[in-house]
């Protein structure tokens, strides 16, 4: 580790007290309020211009984002990381949030903003008036921030009647309440209990049966007790199809009250969209995304299903049915509750074949700390960044390490451009801890280009959520590497952002960047985690990491010969096996069904007839259409209350209303965006081009497809995505 460069700005010092946190919130709120008050004294709708009103307001937010940076971090991380600051942080952010909300509920400021907007984008009556300005006199970013400012008002109901605006406020309150009740129901699921004989549990390993008795009580009257939620793994282990069916459906029907709650959410969202002038909520949400409309979402996934269904039948349904036939003598149906069991059998059979040739545990070549550091070094190099590890103990003379990083496991890196310009600091928060939350980047600070043309330094805390080993080295499996690279890619995108306004930078995340584009960028970076040459260079067998690691290896293997330091990766010439591809196809179709069901929910028009709206019927019908698996209605059960309603445990209608599609859809573009790196994953020329064209713009240029085409030098080729799933040609 190195000491910080003398000419680099220091990292932030985390020595706040509850009072200093409150003071930051108070100051930010005061600056927001004072700016608006002063603006209203000097600017009127008739004298308003972009330079007088819009530009200075968002430049104020460049300052405010810097001022409140540490509050953002304290709010993002567990309260145990910053003891005594949780309540103060909530109070401070609430004070600042109220001031910000007050700005965008200020009718006089709205009149000024609307006046500026109509100077460039007049309505039909104004087109006949003089004084209309050419929109091209604004830069692309200025046009984007102007439209964003207007939208912030319109989203709150400005432009409709006062009564309608009040109803919007009521809807928001009701959405919070119903959404909270829905999430709480999911969080408090206990599961139901069922009784099974030993024969009905045939196939369940003896040690698992013993655990059932330990967890759920001794055998009574020859019956084992199974909790449908906590013991769901029994569903995959039991040979008896009826047993699997009862556990599967029992586990999916444990939150029945959420059916009505979801109907309420759907109805409220439809009413909200109607008040804002849209046919449905999906239309409202998707208007500023790359995909543009719910019709385009459904068209994409329907087309994808048409392409994948022949492969799904051949590479997934047919092999699984053959294993079911072998075990049961009947493969007329392959039910949802059959799929996992017989796929596991198919995979186990294939695994035995592979292990004869290769017994390696590839995770041994990817120790956590070395891999994360290596990813920053290798990917940073591709995109013309340099990440330098900094020792928190020496980062700032006289400041203790626990005021530089919030946990000893956090790795601190100074981030520089190849020119030597310091761009800020990256904090790699490696391990999962209590209440740490999901795996995602948490930028804090203001990302914008200063008046002198240099980037304002920003910090990013990357929450990598790696499960730390109880003892010895922590190793990363393939799935974890995929997830970690997505986050690190987002870190790179944050440092690459070059916008005039912090509000349009990548650091503002999905609130600034369209949700599907945000995922496209992450999915492009994820492609490196499947590239053989990249993985080979990244690899380093843990036994070479330190004398202690070598000692651990020798202890575990009884002093076997030390393996090669690098894990040779032989690029596959034929792609995945048919079974592997079948799994990928089935997963893609499952995600497609969820995306289309999500669109179904939020394309309901107001008023919604919640009594006749049968969510369970539509959930199962859509699922069956896409996944091609049999369901309980194939057994003659027509009462939908007895069907599968797993959707009642899925909180995405709250957190991803109308945008569930974004993850699956993102790979359609990412496959081609990665293509310049396919043969050379260390292609710095392509890296610079991707950084300068795609990443630098943040959310400042809404012509996302145009940016992708500029980077590629041609139109995006979707066939590259289809090829990753085994679809070739038309």
SS3 11: coil
Strands 422-431 and 385-390: unpaired
Sheet containing strand 458-466, strands side by side: 385-390, 410-417, 422-431, 458-466, 440-444
Q: Which of 681, 682, 669, 680 has the alpha carbon at shortest distance from 711?
A: 669
| Of residues 294, 157, 348, the one with CA closest to residue 596 | 294
pLDDT digits (tens, 9 = 90+) for 384-434: 999 999 999 999 999 999 999 999 999 999 999 999 999 999 999 999 988
Per-residue pLDDT tens over the stretch 253-289: 999 999 999 999 999 999 999 999 999 999 999 999 9
720 prior amide bond cis, ω within 30: no
Residue 569 has what pLDDT?
Answer: 75
Closest CA to 59 of 39, 89, 45: 39
Q: Name the CATH topology of 279-352+575-655.
A: 1.10.1370
Please tell me the distance from the alpha carbon of residue 138 to that of residue 503, in angstroms, as a whole number: 17
Cβ atoms of 403 and 13 closer than 8 Å: yes
Domain-wise residue ranges, the chain: 190-252, 279-352+575-655, 363-552, 668-724
What pTM, to 2 d.p., does this model score?
0.94
Distance (Å, rounded) from C-alpha 158 to C-alpha 468? Answer: 50
The residues of the chain scoring below 70 in pLDDT are 1-7, 124-131, 351-359, 509-510, 570-575, 730
DSSP tag of 504: G
Backbone angles phi, psi at 469, to 5 degrees: -65, 145
Q: Are 476 and 440 in contact (CB under 8 A)?
A: no
CA dihedral 56, 57, 61, 64 (to 10 degrees): 90
Beta-bridged to residue 486, according to DSSP, are none
Distance CA 518, CA 514 (A): 6
CA angle, 24 then 26 then 28, to 5°: 65
pLDDT of residue 434: 84
Spatial distance between the Cα atoms of 533 and 406, rounded to a whole number of angstroms: 35
| 344: DSSP letter | H
Specify the pLDDT at position 357.
47
Q: How far is CA 50 from CA 117, 268, 321, 489, in A?
A: 8, 36, 65, 34
Burial class (CB in 10 A: 0-12, 13-18, 19+), 214: exposed
Domain 363-552 in CATH 3.30.420.310? The answer is no
**Residue 159 CA to its chain's centroid (Å):** 33
**Predicted local distance difference test score (pLDDT) of residue 511:** 72
Say if CB 667 and CB 718 are below 8 A apart.
no
Residue 726 tokens read as 């085994």
Rounded distance, CA 433 to CA 725, Å?
Answer: 36
- Tokens of residue 371, six digits: 């891999």
How many residues belong to the chain? 730
Residue with tokens 């330079």: 51
Task: Determine the pLDDT at residue 126.
Answer: 59
- 3-state class (DSSP) for residue 571: coil
Q: How far apart are CA 317 and CA 319, in angstroms?
A: 6
Partners of residue 136 on adjacent β-strands: none
CB 430, CB 372: distance < 8 Å: yes
């Amino acid at each position: 580790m190195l000491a910080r460069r003398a000419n680099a700005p220091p990292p932030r010092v985390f020595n706040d007290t509850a009072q200093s946190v409150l003071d930051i919130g108070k100051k930010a709120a005061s600056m927001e309020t004072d700016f608006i008050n002063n603006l209203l004294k000097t600017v009127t709708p008739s004298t308003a211009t972009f330079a007088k009103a819009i530009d200075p307001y968002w430049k104020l937010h460049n300052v405010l984002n810097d001022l409140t940076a540490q509050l953002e971090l304290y709010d993002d991380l567990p309260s145990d990381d910053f003891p005594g600051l949780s309540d103060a942080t909530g109070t401070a952010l609430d004070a600042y949030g109220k001031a910000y909300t007050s700005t965008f509920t200020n009718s006089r400021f709205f009149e000024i903003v609307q006046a500026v907007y109509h100077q460039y984008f007049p309505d039909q009556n104004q087109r006949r008036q003089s004084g209309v300005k050419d929109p091209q006199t604004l830069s692309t970013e200025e046009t984007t921030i102007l439209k964003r400012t207007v939208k912030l008002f319109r989203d709150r109901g400005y432009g409709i009647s006062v009564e309608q605006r009040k109803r919007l406020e009521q809807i928001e309150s009701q959405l919070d309440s119903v959404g909270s009740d829905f999430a709480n129901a999911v969080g408090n699921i206990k599961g139901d209990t069922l009784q099974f004989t030993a024969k009905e549990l045939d196939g369940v390993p003896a040690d698992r049966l013993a655990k059932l008795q330990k967890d759920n009580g001794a055998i009574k009257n020859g019956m084992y007790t199974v909790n449908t939620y906590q013991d769901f793994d029994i569903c995959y282990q039991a040979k008896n199809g009826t047993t699997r069916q009862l556990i599967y459906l029992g586990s999916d029907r444990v939150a029945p009250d959420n059916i009505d709650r979801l109907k309420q959410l759907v109805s409220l969202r439809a009413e909200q969209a109607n008040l804002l002038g849209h046919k449905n909520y999906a239309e409202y949400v998707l208007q500023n995304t790359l995909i543009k409309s719910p019709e385009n979402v459904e068209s994409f996934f329907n087309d994808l299903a048409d392409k994948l269904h022949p492969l799904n039948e051949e590479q997934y349904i047919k092999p699984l049915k053959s294993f079911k036939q072998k075990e049961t003598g009947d493969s007329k149906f392959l039910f949802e509750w059959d799929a996992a069991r017989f796929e596991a059998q198919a995979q186990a059979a294939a695994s035995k074949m592979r292990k004869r040739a290769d017994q390696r545990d590839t995770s041994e070549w990817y120790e956590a700390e070395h891999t994360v550091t290596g990813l920053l070094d290798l990917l940073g190099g591709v995109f013309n960044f340099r990440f330098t590890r900094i020792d928190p103990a020496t980062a700032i003379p006289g400041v203790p390490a626990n005021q530089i990083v919030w946990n000893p496991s956090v790795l601190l890196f100074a981030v520089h451009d190849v020119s030597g310009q310091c761009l800020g600091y990256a904090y790699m928060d490696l391990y999962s801890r209590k209440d740490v939350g999901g795996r995602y980047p948490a930028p804090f600070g203001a990302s914008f280009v200063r008046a002198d043309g240099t980037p304002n330094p920003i910090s990013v805390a990357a929450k990598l959520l790696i499960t730390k080993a109880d003892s010895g080295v922590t190793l990363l499996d393939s799935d974890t590497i995929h997830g970690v690279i997505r986050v690190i890619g987002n870190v790179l995108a944050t440092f690459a952002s070059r916008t005039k306004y912090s509000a349009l930078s990548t650091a503002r995340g999905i609130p600034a960047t369209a949700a599907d584009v945000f995922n496209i960028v992450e999915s492009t970076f994820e492609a490196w985690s499947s590239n053989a040459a990249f993985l080979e260079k990244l690899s380093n067998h843990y036994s070479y990491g330190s004398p202690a690691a070598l000692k651990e290896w020798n202890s575990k293997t009884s002093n076997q010969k030390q393996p090669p330091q690098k894990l040779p990766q032989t690029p596959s010439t034929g792609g995945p096996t048919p079974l592997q591809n079948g799994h990928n196809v089935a997963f893609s179709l499952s995600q497609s069904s969820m995306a289309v069901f999500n669109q179904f929910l939020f394309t309901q028009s107001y008023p919604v007839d919640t009594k006749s709206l049968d969510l369970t019927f539509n959930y199962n019908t859509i699922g069956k259409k896409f996944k091609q698996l049999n369901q309980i209605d194939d057994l003659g059960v027509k009462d939908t209350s007895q069907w599968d309603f797993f959707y009642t445990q899925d909180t995405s209608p709250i957190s991803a209303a109308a945008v569930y599609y974004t993850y699956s859809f993102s790979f359609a573009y990412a496959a081609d965006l990665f293509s310049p790196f396919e043969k050379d994953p260390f292609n710095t020329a392509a890296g610079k081009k991707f950084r300068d064209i795609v990443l630098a713009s943040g959310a400042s240029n809404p012509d996302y497809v145009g940016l992708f085409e500029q980077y590629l030098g041609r139109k995006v080729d979707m066939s590259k995505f289809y090829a990753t799933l085994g679809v070739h040609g038309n």
